[in-house]
């Protein structure tokens, strides 16, 4: 197992332990016959999948008001008269579904950004995408915008626009000098853009009035109470595209997280992988933020938790993070809506309060 406990980022050991099957076959230093990746993937997905399913079955059954399951599925009562069914299908189910997709999106985007930037501290919000999205949302709130497109109302729409602008600026800057992306430029441009957008957000808040500032501040804490499936359906196509792109990434990310040169020496099209990683992770982040606000902590805690449990191979980490991120956010939202009922705790507060200590405990225990 020593091969799997290799340092999480960088280092020849990591490369040897996680490089593709071709490398492994030639690796004469292997003492243990490695379990085939397919078996491990199956085990991982099964394990985390069961966790997610259990979470998703329990979550809609619990809430601030007691409901009777028998009544929920009692067809003899018309839906518009059936409070229990309304609570189950209108209030709780959309929340659980939103939690699943937002949690999965943020956790996987975190994994991809950490590999792309070769930085353990990277999050989906590192490269300015969420700051751009937040500025968009803020402007929509302050200007009282009422534009809408299909199921997308003003705030999510402005959010996506802001995210797209931020991502485009960072991408353009990072690809200006040569064909491949410069990780350093990407990181610095992203962090700078983050500060720049944050300053703009502060300015917009300062000239706004109280109700708007309050709404904007509340939006930043994250909220999964979407109230219907409509906003979820609006975010779903973007997430589907992002996840389809993620599927191409794991093996290349394994090599990329070691270094661009090493990856390219082993036949990875570095430029293409970087672009794919950047675009897919930005898309997932933008979709998640537009649906539920910038819920923090998932993008950094979930990937690291998963790595502590199953090791660093992206072929396992990506799907496991998606499943675990989803389960984690659903549980956090469950806590958010029940702990102080009938009051709610912003879910972003819970993710940090639950995730932080849990992560530290795991870190110390593993260490």
- 326 touches 103 (CB < 8 A): yes
Nearer to another protein, 255 or 291 (CB): 291
Nearer to another protein, 92 or 307 (CB): 92
DSSP letters of 262-298? HHHHTT--HHHHHHHHHHHHHHHHHHHHHHH----SH
Nearer to another protein, 98 or 174 (CB): 98
The nearest distance, CB 214 to another protein, in angstroms, is: 6
The nearest distance, CB 349 to another protein, in angstroms, is: 13
The nearest distance, CB 346 to another protein, in angstroms, is: 9
Nearer to another protein, 117 or 154 (CB): 154
The residue to which tokens 């991982």 are assigned: 44
The nearest distance, CB 87 to another protein, in angstroms, is: 5
- 54 touches 331 (CB < 8 A): no
Nearer to another protein, 212 or 264 (CB): 212
Residues that bind another protein (CB under 8 A): 63-65, 79-83, 85-87, 90-92, 142-144, 146, 148, 153-155, 207-212, 214-215, 218-219, 223, 225-228, 337, 341-344
The nearest distance, CB 240 to another protein, in angstroms, is: 23
> Minimal CA–CA distance to 300: which of 362, 359, 213, 218?
359
- 226 touches 295 (CB < 8 A): no
Q: Cα–chain-centroid distance for residue 48?
A: 16
The nearest distance, CB 227 to another protein, in angstroms, is: 4
Phi, psi for residue 19 in degrees, rounded to 5: -60, 165
Nearer to another protein, 142 or 185 (CB): 142
Burial of residue 24 (number of CB atoms within 10 Å: 0-12, 13-18, 19+):
middle
| Residue 199 CB neighbour total at 10 angstroms | 12
The nearest distance, CB 362 to another protein, in angstroms, is: 31
Nearer to another protein, 117 or 155 (CB): 155
The percent helix, strand, coil of the chain (3-state, each to 5) is 70, 0, 25
């Amino acid at each position: 197992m020593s091969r799997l406990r290799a340092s999480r980022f960088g280092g020849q050991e990591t490369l040897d332990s996680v490089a593709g099957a071709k490398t492994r076959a030639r690796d004469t230093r292997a003492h243990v016959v490695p379990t085939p990746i397919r078996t491990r993937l199956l085990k991982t997905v099964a394990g985390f999948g069961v966790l997610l399913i259990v979470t998703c079955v329990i979550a809609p059954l619990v809430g601030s008001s007691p409901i009777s399951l028998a009544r929920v599925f009692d067809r003899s009562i018309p839906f518009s008269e059936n409070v229990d069914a309304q609570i189950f299908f209108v209030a709780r189910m959309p929340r659980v579904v939103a939690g699943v997709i937002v949690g999965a999106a943020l956790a996987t985007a975190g994994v991809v950004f950490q590999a792309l930037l070769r930085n353990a501290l990277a999050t989906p919000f590192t490269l300015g995408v969420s700051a751009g999205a937040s500025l968009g949302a803020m402007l929509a709130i302050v200007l009282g915008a009422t534009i809408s497109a299909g199921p997308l109302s003003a705030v999510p729409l402005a959010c996506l626009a802001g995210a797209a602008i931020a991502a485009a600026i960072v991408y353009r800057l990072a690809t200006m000098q040569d064909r491949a992306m410069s990780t350093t430029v990407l990181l610095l441009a992203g962090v700078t853009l983050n500060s720049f957008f944050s300053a703009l957000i502060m300015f917009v808040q300062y000239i706004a009035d109280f109700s708007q500032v309050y709404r904007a501040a509340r939006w930043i804490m994250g909220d999964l109470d979407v109230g219907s499936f409509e906003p979820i359906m609006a975010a779903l196509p973007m997430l589907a595209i992002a996840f389809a792109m993620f599927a191409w990434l794991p093996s290349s990310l394994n090599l990329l997280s070691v270094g661009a040169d090493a990856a390219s020496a082993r036949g990875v099209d570095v430029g293409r992988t970087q672009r794919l990683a950047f675009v897919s992770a930005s898309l997932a982040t933008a979709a998640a933020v537009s649906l539920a606000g910038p819920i923090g902590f998932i993008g950094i805690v979930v990937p690291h938790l998963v790595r502590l449990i199953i090791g660093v191979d992206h072929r396992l980490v990506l799907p496991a993070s998606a499943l675990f991120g989803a389960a984690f956010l659903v549980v956090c939202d469950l806590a958010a809506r029940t702990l102080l009922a009938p009051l709610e705790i912003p879910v972003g507060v819970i993710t940090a309060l639950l995730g932080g200590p849990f992560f530290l405990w795991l870190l110390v225990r593993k260490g």
